[in-house]
Structure 1
Amino acid sequence: MALVDLADWMDEFERPEKSLWYIKRLSANDTLANNAHQAGPYIPKSFLFRVFPQLDTSEVKNPDAHFDLYIDSHVDYRRVRAVYYNGKRYGDGTRDESRLTNFGGRTSALLDPESTGALAVFAFLLDDAGQANECHVWVSRHPTEEDLVEERIGPVEPGQLVVWEPGIGREMPSLLVPAPRTSCRLSSDEISPAWLEKFPSGEEIIRKAVELRSATGLNPDARLMRRRVCEFEVFQSIEEAYFLPRISAGFPSIEAFISQAHAILQSRKSRSGNSLELHARQIFIEEGLRSLQDFQHRPRIENGKIPDFLFPSKTAYEDADFPATRLRMLAAKTTCKDRWRQVLNEADRIPVKHLLTLQEGVSEGQFREMKEAGVQLVVPTGLHDSFPENVRPNLVSFEEFIGDIRLILL
């Protein structure tokens, strides 16, 4: 299919009260990248109960529902089974989980290990009773398609589960995964009045997250992951306080409405695009690395290239007498599927390109291609188990990367 088909596809299935979208980035546990026995995209039972209410029962053991699933991006069709293993509620076992089956193994784009990290959109079509009777899926094949989806619904990060209802919009993540509210959710009196007049920058939001989640007792990997969650909740609080009054006031024209919607999407994309590297920069400083001496953020080097981080500095990099073995670069990309190639030419003197990512796994083929191209993945330790078993020993934790930087500075 041509690229334009994705825009047409989204228009086709964006039907208020007739469809419900579920969006996520496929992890290695969703695909067959980990050789899991029960592979298949994870969809929480709270969502499946919503589109298949007949599954939410303890009167029948392991209730199921069959429906037609079309992977339109890859011209594939399956008769899929949604099943709720309710042994715990049924009083016969401990299982209390849902699963989709019958995808057809590696021949399905949803289970293909090479789809690990891809953005997948599930558009469930609903009947008059609000129950799903079929589902249409688009598995993004390259970054441009992902951008098209995120331009409409906002950024989707690894590990994030998004429900999007046409005509209403995006639902809060708490509706998908029940979890206790953290203190990072700001109350109205905790939000600076200046932020209600001018939306704060990414740096300001991250400073607030750092304030709420200090460095005490946490290694760099745990600190990074904990603060990312905190930052997102801070952002949501400010977004609601800033934009909701403007939305409630109404719009004098369609153009004004579109302009406001565009501003909201842009603020989300801006936060998502810069968040990881800003968190990394903060942690470098907390770990005793000095800016402009031990590391440099976004320096401009040969041919106008701008790597996210250069170690120890641009001055050292441009000094032909400074050993290349003591130079490092780090790119920060929340997802690395396809985008990892963007770092290959960012610093000519440095053969190994370190890439910090939060993507939940890559296929063995993807990892082999990265390694052959000289890309070394830097992944927080809490995400290592989402990678294929034989890939895990080759991953570098964020803490290990910082330790390597300390060694080259000696």
Structure 2
Amino acid sequence: MAIVDLLDWLDEYASPNTIWYVKRLSGNDTLANGSHQAGPYIAREFLFHIFPAINRTDIKNPDVWFDLYLDSNADYRKVRAVYYNNAHFEGTRNEARLTNFGGQSSALLDPDSTGALVVFAFRLDDAGAATDCHVWVCQHETEEDLVEDRVGPVDPGKFLVWLPVQTAANLRLQGVPPPQTSCWLEPADMPPAWLTDFPAAAEIVRKSVDLRPLPTLPPDQRLLKRRECEFELFRSIEQAVERPHILAGFTTVEDFVNRAQTVLQRRRNRAGRSLELHAREIFIEERLVENHHFSYQPVSEGTKKPDFLFPSQAAYQDTSFPVSGLRMLAVKTTCKDRWRQILNEADRIPNKHLLTLQEGVSEAQFAEMTGAGVQLVVPAQRMESFPAAVQPHLQTLESFIGDVRLLSVSL
């Protein structure tokens, strides 16, 4: 469908008594890794809010059926929301799911949809219960950008609950915020300067490292735990900075829109740089010396600036330095379509490494990446989201760092 169709769709379902659930499809959601879950995972607490009839443990696996319209693909299904509560009946399962999508014929279960951004727009009755749902599976990064321009960035493994219009019936559906941890700071615990000038992304990452030093954990675990910490820290700073503006109110709609755009842009900036900054911190902790073992945001050719070059920009630009001793690492939180952007970076290096947090790709997508010379680097904890046939060909961050160390020894 054309972009204008998505814009019209977003406007149509940005209405009162509608609530959006936005996430990226993982390999467990689709059929990419053979998990046979039969439907995308939706946070149990959220489904309990909009389908209160399934929030019970006196019967086994309570469910409700509703109409679901997959508008991006002109598909309709009678879908089941079910609470698998076997844990209350001498079993182990305790999760909620949407099922009955019809297998790979649905874009929601198509392995090639793995990593795609999807919007579930639930329409609610006056009591706040869902009556039906309209869904859009983004087909490419331009559509994803249009959605994230409205709701803010959505990382793999996260979900976002968004109310297009506040009404009395849905005020209780503010979403299920992530639990606060010791990384959440109150205003009194923040440097005073943060409350007037929002700190730079690098400063927030540095603080998350201070709060989560985790020196005994492998790099892969350290990376994911610090990202969680940094996200919580960012949210606490955002609340401290924006709350006074919200309480003071806005005299014009234009003032409100401008403030909202500032918040969204700040979130996008944070999401765009977070992972690469965390990677840089871990490289340094692993005793890789900057500009000796690696260069961060170097220039390879002309205006091309890969995220990382190994061992350095100087070595890369020295034509006598052997190509076999060079590595390039690109960093992208999601890679479904964006992996192609790295192919024209660092011309001297034919095989590109790409660090991503995306939870799986289809076998067809992986074959295309591999054919183009892209090696995926994935935190060890995320590997099980990939198809079994793909997992042996992935590289962990710890393994990549080990290879870089060996390069410096062998040259």
Instruction: Report the TM-score range of the alignment, normalised by the length of the smaller protein.
Output: over 0.9
Shift in Å, 1:174: 11
Please identify runs of 4+ aligned residues in structure 1 that moved more than 3 A: 91-95, 168-179
Q: Distance in 2 between matches of 1:368 and 1:261?
A: 41
Residues 184 and 166 (structure 1), Cα distance of their counterparts in 2 relative to 1, 3 Å cut: same
Equivalent residues in 2 for 1:2-81 (5 A)? 2-16=2-16, 18-81=17-80
Give a deviation string over 1:106-153, Cα, whole Å, max 9, x none.
Answer: 010000000000001000011222211110000000001111111100
Cα gap change, 1:117 to 1:326, in 2 (>3 Å): same
Specify the alignment match of 1:356 in structure 2: 355
Asked whether the equivalents of residues 161 and 176 of structure 1 are also in contact (C-alpha less than 8 Å), the reply is: no
Name the SS for the 1:120 alignment partner. Answer: strand
Q: Which amino acid in the other structure matches residue 4 of structure 1?
A: V
Q: Structure 1 residue aligned with 2:105, among 83, 103, 107?
A: 107
Any idea what SS the aligned residue of 1:43 has? coil
Q: Displacement of 1:97 after TM fit?
A: 2.2
Q: Which residue of 2 aligns with 1:387?
A: 386
Match runs of 1:297-316 below 5 Å: 297-316=296-315
- The one-letter code of the counterpart of 1:10 is L
Residue matched to 2:345: 346
Question: CA–CA distance in 2 between the matches of 1:337 and 1:133?
Answer: 32
Cross-structure match for 2:268: 269
1:129 matched to 2:131? The reply is no
SS of 1:294 mapped into structure 2 = coil
Contact 2:293/2:408 (8 A) holds in 1: yes
What's the counterpart of residue 374 of structure 1? 373
- Which piece of structure 1 moves more, 330-339 or 94-103? 94-103
Q: Which residue of 1 aligns with 2:293?
A: 294
Distance in 2 between the 1:261 and 1:358 partners?
27
Aligned position for 2:181: 182
Deviations for 1:71-125, whole angstroms, at most 9, x for unmatched residues? Answer: 1111111111111223333x46443322211101101000000000000100001
Which letter maps to 1:158? P
Residues 156 and 357 in structure 2, CA contact (< 8 A), matched pair in contact too:
yes
| Cα distance between partner residues in 2 of 1:4 and 1:351 | 38
Structure 2 residue matching 1:365: 3-state secondary structure: helix
2:10 partner letter: M
Q: Mean Cα displacement is larger for which, 309-318 or 23-32?
A: 309-318
Counterpart amino acid of 1:323? P
**Aligned partner of residue 302 in structure 1, secondary structure:** coil
> Which amino acid is 1:110 matched to?
L
Q: Is the 8 A contact 1:329 1:354 kept in 2?
A: yes
Q: Which residue of 2 aligns with 1:325?
A: 324
State the alpha-carbon separation in 1 of the partners of residues 194 and 91 from structure 2. Answer: 51
Q: After the TM superposition, which residues 279-290 of structure 1 pair with which residues of structure 2 at under 5 Å, given as runs?
A: 279-290=278-289
| CA shift digits 1:357-376 (9 cap, x unpaired) | 00001110110100000000
Letter in 2 for 1:294: H
Which AA in structure 1 matches 2:127?
A
* SS of residue paired to 2:6: helix
Aligned residues: 407
- What do residues 26-46 of structure 1 show as CA deviations (whole Å, max 9, x unaligned)? 000000001122231101221
Question: Over aligned residue pairs, what C-alpha RMSD do you find?
Answer: 1.9
Task: Report the equivalent of 2:153.
Answer: 155
Deviates most, 299-308 or 25-34: 299-308
Alignment deviations for residues 265-322 of structure 1 (CA, whole Å, 9 cap, x no partner): 0110000000000001111111111111211111122132110001111211111110
Structure 1 runs not aligned, ≥5 long: none
Judge conservation of contact 1:162–1:171 (CA < 8 Å) in 2.
Answer: no
AA at the equivalent of 2:69: Y
Cα distance in 1 between the residues matched to 2:80 and 2:101:
9
**In the aligned structure 2, how far is the partner of 1:127 from the partner of 1:249?**
32
Counterparts of 2:235 and 2:293, CA distance in 1? 34
For 1:219, the aligned partner's letter is: P
What does 1:205-220 align with in structure 2 at a 5 Å threshold? Answer: 205-220=204-219
Partner of 1:165: 163
Match of 2:201? 202
Note if 1:230 corresponds to 2:236. no
Preserved CA contact (<8 Å) 2:49 2:173: no
Paired residue type of 2:154? V
The gaps in structure 2 that reach 5 residues or longer are none
TM-score, normalising length: structure 2: 0.95
